[in-house]
Structure 1
Amino acid sequence: MRCARCPTCRCPSCWNAATNASSPTAASPTPPTAEGRPACVAVALSGGRDSTALCHATVRAARALGLTVVALHVHHGLQAEADDWVRHLERQCRRWQRAGWPLRLRVARLTDRPPAGASIEAWARQRRHQALGRMAAEEGATLLLLAHHARDQAETVCLQALRGAGPAGLAAMPRSVVRDGLTWARPWLGCSPQAIEHYVRRHRLGHIEDPSNRDPRFERNRLRLQVWPALVQAFPATEQALVDVARQAWEAAELIDEIAAADLEAVRRAPHGLALAAWLALSPARRRASLRRWLKEQGAGHASDRFVDRLLAELPQTRIGRWPVDGPLELRLYRGTLSLSRRSSASITATDAPVWPVAIDHRWRPLPAGQGWVRLRPVEEGGLPCSRLAGSHWQARQGGERFALGPGRPARSLKKQFQTLGIPAWQRQGPLLWSGAQLLWVPGLGVEAQARAAAGEPQLSLEWSADEPDAAAQQLE
């Protein structure tokens, strides 16, 4: 696209007009700025009609801007023709290179296979995105273009609606999103497939046909082959109507998320908890939205409607409780605070674990007989004498144990001491450390007063966990 003011199409006004257009010729990399340009622009190139047209249009635009385009292809190894597709792309890119076009091709070959019972579509999509992101980063690209068009978007909205998705799901594919410094953009999301087909014919672009696109085992193919023709025949404006639904759903999802973020700031309880009373003061819709956002922030992922409905019904009537979440997590309520923690499990057997005592090296070590994990650290005061470790042993609570929190304070039952310090029930299940008949240390309470080290004596602190702490968290420490 050219104009009288800017023959080479470098001005931002011309650029904005191009990238907002619905024609396939509008596919262009990041606009030039006074601060500089990206080293290269990446394009996901499967070899099909849409991605071939996008790559061709991008290289044409990039050549005028002095940019380099790197075409990224992922070889999934799922089709017998996959090697032929790579050879086709190599020949095609060589022809464009001989014409002086600033283009190079990168191919990533996947060596693993979908696990048994997994969705091939979901596995391929996840591994493809991982490979594309990795290659783009290695090439120094900050922009990755994807060739999804308006019908792809409409199909996604339809599939999400059939799955019972809410506003976030109906928003379908975003026009652009930034992940780890890389912008994933879909410049043709408002472009019809007919316009892309016209572009391909006009420029005589060869492309491949993936036979899996005709396989009705995949749900998108069933929609595309069996449902879509009848839907468009009955409702000719289906495609544009569903694209409009995606846009409106995106606006609604953004608004819901903004309100949820504001509500969370008012109901948080340090460090990672949620104040139940403040949360219950919200309207039901805002409780739902803020709870979903909070669970996602805490690493619980996308909570199901059934799980959220259960919490909305039970939390107002409960003072203490535990609710399993997908994976090793569980939601816990204690003293008016909601928190998300790892569920305890005896995953280490006696034969897998080293003998006690473990090394004093700041690292978490498994205890014998699946009793959890512990680490020892040297301290200056208030610790357990190092000499008491020899001959000590771990034992589960039997009942009747008594513990003194400090010198001169009375020994009381563990239950009363836990209550005094506000230790929730699920943190009271750890094993106790004994030396003969002397109780030395209790998880959550610390060193028994009579067992504390004297001033200047080599001593240490203990920490216990029911499960192996996250490896990444250990590295941060």
Structure 2
Amino acid sequence: MPCVAVAYSGGRDSTALLHAVACATREANREMLVSPPAHAGGEPLGVGAMCVVALHVHHGLSPNADAWLAHAQATCDAWAAQGLPVRLVARHVRLSADAGQGVEAEARALRHQALHEMAVEAGADMLLLAHHRRDQAETLLLQALRGGGLAGLAAMPKDDLRDGLRWVRPWLDHPREAIEAYIEAHGLRHIDDESNGDPRFARNRLRLAVWPALQAAFPQAEVALATSAARLADALVPLRSWQSQALTVLQAPDDAAAMNVRLWARWSPAERRESLRHWFASVSGQALSANWTLRLADELPRMLAHAPKPEDACGVWPALGLSLYRGRLRWAPAGADHGEGGGGGTAMQPVRIDAPGDWPLPAWGGMLRVTPCTHGGVAPERLLGMTVASRTGGERFQAGPGRPPRTLKKQFQMLGVPAWERDAPLFWAGDQLLFVPGLGLDARCWAAPGMPQCAMSWHWLDAEPAAALKCEV
């Protein structure tokens, strides 16, 4: 039986929408029985009656969650007994224990996933949601307060296709007061979520503390903000078209995860930032923060300009999984195996250390400190031709004289080196691994006793990680 799905929490808005859709579907079914669709030859088509599936997500966040589910079931059963073609489908979801202050975002993500799965399983190709004009205005304000871009400021789309399912908000242009009037006219019962008064949640703070004052000062605020969101949504369409074209131009033909930085660097700053955001999201599935976008859009062109030749510029940003090598910016997932030893297929950056002191490596987020020592150090001449590269997998490190070389993974595990400390770069002398932050100098590179030698230690430049990685020499 063909069906349409409605997201149904049991609250005021979703109750009104579900009832309205169920009533409209009943009337459509009656008309179909009276005048069934026919072929061109006049024969009736075998079209089944439509049904409405109410989708309820049980988060378990409220002590009243079970009661809400029971209310939703009782409501659907009562309406079905009255002849409305509606049935309830519910699903329990569980938030992670460490959601913390991100409970809003995680609950929303789990709810959307559950709604999508239930709608598809029910055979629906369209999901209706009860967001109205006030919701849209609030969303634009929240996105602006978070520094959102065009996609965020466009707020909620009225009709959006996601993985084969249409998410439709038919009441996005309607005021909240119209929904309240519908509830009263039909005598519909609904639940009130006590969390709507919790000021820990950003939308609640906006509704309780900001919106009344805003509307008092600007009575047309709701209409104006919703109108702005609609105009921004229109602008989003050509932007996405440009983003797709830019991605086609910039993406390396033989490597979908790499971008032609030399071409990209010739674009305007605004084009660089926007295309970088889109490219990173397309290859990593993650959003690039505003700070990283600004930094890379400025830093990468300067690196190309200051290198002897543009293709000589290289660097690695482990926190993002990015590396620059031979004019290409490439993304690889954390822990990706690119080969054995020597940096494998990743970029290796030459580093020439000719005196003790602090040697910053901004592209790596830290600095190398070199100090004179009397034993367990490295001969100064070995520092002149070093290279630095990210960990790629398979590198072997010898922790002391006479001890067997072991993989870095095992060495880190044996010494209990935290996961975040393992993102520091590795230092090489030719094909020999020389220094590993968190482990120290490879014993095969120790200078002979009595000879001039230097100790090495790695220190992060940013506040996080707060602790320096110190080698024991």
Aligned partners of 1:371 and 1:430 also within 8 Å? no
Q: Taking structure 1 as reference, are residues 193 and 429 closer, same or farther at Cα in structure 2, changes over 3 Å only?
A: closer
> Which whole-Å CA distance do the structure 2 matches of 1:156 and 1:77 have between them?
25
> Which whole-Å CA distance do the structure 1 matches of 2:137 and 2:284 have between them?
30
| Mapped pair 1:237 → 2:220 | yes
Which structure 1 residue ranges, 4+ long, deviate > 3 Å from structure 2?
Answer: 111-114, 342-346, 370-373, 424-432
Percent identity for Structure 1 against Structure 2? 47
> Which whole-Å CA distance do the structure 1 matches of 2:97 and 2:393 have between them?
39
One-letter amino acid of the structure 2 residue matched with residue 64 of structure 1: E
Aligned partners of 2:2 and 2:51 also within 8 Å? yes
| Mapped pair 1:145 → 2:128 | yes
| Mapped pair 1:321 → 2:306 | no
3-state SS of 1:298 partner: helix
> Which whole-Å CA distance do the structure 1 matches of 2:167 and 2:319 have between them?
31
Aligned to 2:324: 333
Q: Select which of 77, 95, 99 maps to 1:94.
A: 77
- 1:217 is displaced (CA, Å) by 1.6
Equivalent residues, number: 326
> Mapping of 1:324-403 within 5 angstroms?
324-326=318-320, 330-344=321-335
Aligned to 1:309: 294
One-letter amino acid of the structure 2 residue matched with residue 321 of structure 1: G
> Which whole-Å CA distance do the structure 1 matches of 2:318 and 2:216 have between them?
47
List gaps (5 residues or longer) in structure 1.
1-37, 347-363, 374-418, 433-477
| Mapped pair 1:199 → 2:168 | no
| Mapped pair 1:130 → 2:113 | yes
Aligned partners of 2:314 and 2:323 also within 8 Å? yes
TM-score when scaled to structure 1?
Answer: 0.63
1:389-429: CA deviations, max 9, x gaps?
Answer: xxxxxxxxxxxxxxxxxxxxxxxxxxxxxx9xxxx955887
One-letter amino acid of the structure 2 residue matched with residue 279 of structure 1: W
3-state SS of 2:191 partner: coil
List gaps (5 residues or longer) in structure 2.
30-49, 304-312, 345-386, 397-473
Aligned to 2:451: none
Aligned to 1:20: none
Aligned partners of 2:343 and 2:390 also within 8 Å? no
- 1:112 is displaced (CA, Å) by 4.8
3-state SS of 2:127 partner: strand
1:103-124: CA deviations, max 9, x gaps?
Answer: 1111112245542524221121
TM-score when scaled to structure 2?
Answer: 0.64
Q: Select which of 242, 259, 278 maps to 1:259.
A: 242
3-state SS of 1:165 partner: coil
- 1:344 is displaced (CA, Å) by 4.7
> Which whole-Å CA distance do the structure 2 matches of 1:342 and 1:72 have between them?
36
Aligned to 2:364: none
> Which whole-Å CA distance do the structure 2 matches of 1:428 and 1:223 have between them?
47
One-letter amino acid of the structure 2 residue matched with residue 267 of structure 1: L
Aligned partners of 1:323 and 1:331 also within 8 Å? yes
Aligned to 2:35: none
- 1:167 is displaced (CA, Å) by 1.2
The Cα RMSD (Å) is 3.0
One-letter amino acid of the structure 2 residue matched with residue 96 of structure 1: W
> Which whole-Å CA distance do the structure 2 matches of 1:324 and 1:372 have between them?
13
Q: Select which of 263, 267, 272 maps to 1:287.
A: 272
One-letter amino acid of the structure 1 residue matched with residue 53 of structure 2: V
Q: Taking structure 1 as reference, are residues 334 and 39 closer, same or farther at Cα in structure 2, changes over 3 Å only?
A: same
Aligned to 1:297: 282
Aligned partners of 1:77 and 1:110 also within 8 Å? yes
Q: Taking structure 1 as reference, are residues 71 and 258 closer, same or farther at Cα in structure 2, changes over 3 Å only?
A: same
Q: Taking structure 1 as reference, are residues 112 and 336 closer, same or farther at Cα in structure 2, changes over 3 Å only?
A: closer
Aligned to 2:195: 212
3-state SS of 1:303 partner: coil
> Which whole-Å CA distance do the structure 2 matches of 1:192 and 1:286 have between them?
38
Aligned to 2:429: none
Aligned partners of 1:114 and 1:120 also within 8 Å? no
